[in-house]
Amino acid sequence: MLPSNIVIMGAGKHMTDKLAPALLRLQNESNEVKIIAIVRADPNKGTIKDVNVPVYKSIEEIPVESFNTIVACGPPSLHLIALKYASLHQKKVFVEKPHVIFTGDLGITESLPKGSMIGYNFNFMPFINETDITSIIVGTKGLYKDWGSIFPVEIEDYMYAIHSVVVHPISVLIQKYGRPDNVEVHKMKDNDGIEMTITLKYGDQCRSIHYTSKAKEFFMNCYGQKEYECKPYKSATYYDMLKYFLSNDVMKINTFEVGKEVMNVIDKCENLMMD
């Protein structure tokens, strides 16, 4: 494990339930890992369970020389603050959602230090490297009912659905296969919801993602040589994800480049749906 003095940014449910416990486990396993502070919107709410460190409203309040790593989890605005600070002060940074890099300020990602990373726990599941994925079926738990709720115009208005439902499976395919040669979208809508298929074309090979809002739970099943039934958000995958982040100075998995390509696909989908 690389020496890591960590500032946690964000103290919402996802951080407190998943990321922080994984960081605590890594801290307990290695003397090289130390959480030194938390940044949250309301410091009066105090720290996170079992994380006994000072709490600040702004990362600017923390002595810049006291840490070298940022782990941020929250809305796009929080991620953008983390990325800009990390770029300015050369701090290694981890955020989950790749769409934050598409705010028109792409220069910040080019100046981040090595090892900075965007990670989804999806991308750390073993099937990613074990099979040739030809299709992914996604149950969206009825989180969206129309195209506008999937891809709103303003990035800050992105709904939960864009994070977990649309972006993740696209990210899986682009991480594994890179930029597609072409993108196609087919959508059907009735009173019960939406059935939508996004097809990424790689030469003669088509790899598709089918979304259904009629599913009663969120799942992501991948098909290739085998079928993989994925129920994400297990704590072990966050541990693996953060262990990789804290152990490497090279952006290999789910890099910022992957994030940019994911958003390129989403932009193409949006344009196709408007035609």
Domain residue ranges of the chain, discontinuous segments joined by + = 4-119+236-254, 122-232+263-274
- pLDDT tens string 94-148: 987 655 444 445 456 667 787 887 777 677 777 777 889 999 988 876 655 554 5
User: What DSSP string describes 186-204?
Assistant: EEEEETTEEEEEEEEEETT
Q: What is the CATH number of domain 122-232+263-274?
A: 3.30.360
Contact in structure between 181 and 201 (CB atoms under 8 Å):
yes
pTM, whole model, 2 decimals?
A: 0.75
User: What confidence category does residue 164 fall into, taking pLDDT thresholds of 50, 70 and 90?
Assistant: low
Burial pattern 64-101, b for ≥16 Cβ within 10 A else e, equals eeebbbbbbbbebebbbbbbebbbeeebbbbbbbbbbb
Instruction: Please give the structure tokens belonging to residue 273.
Output: 């749906």
Q: Which of 72, 54, 71 is nearest to 63 (CA)?
A: 54
Contact between 74 and 44 under an 8 Å Cβ cutoff? The reply is: no
In this predicted structure, the answer to whether residue 198 has a pLDDT above a threshold of 80 is yes
Say what the pLDDT of residue 103 is: 45
Check whether 157 has a pLDDT greater than 50.
no
CA angle 185, 228, 257 (to 5 degrees): 55
**CATH no., domain 4-119+236-254:** 3.40.50.720
Instruction: Indicate if the pLDDT at residue 150 is higher than 70.
Output: no
Comparing 3-7, 84-88, 216-220, the range with the smallest average pLDDT is 216-220
Q: Which helix (H) or strand (E) holds 239?
A: helix 235-247
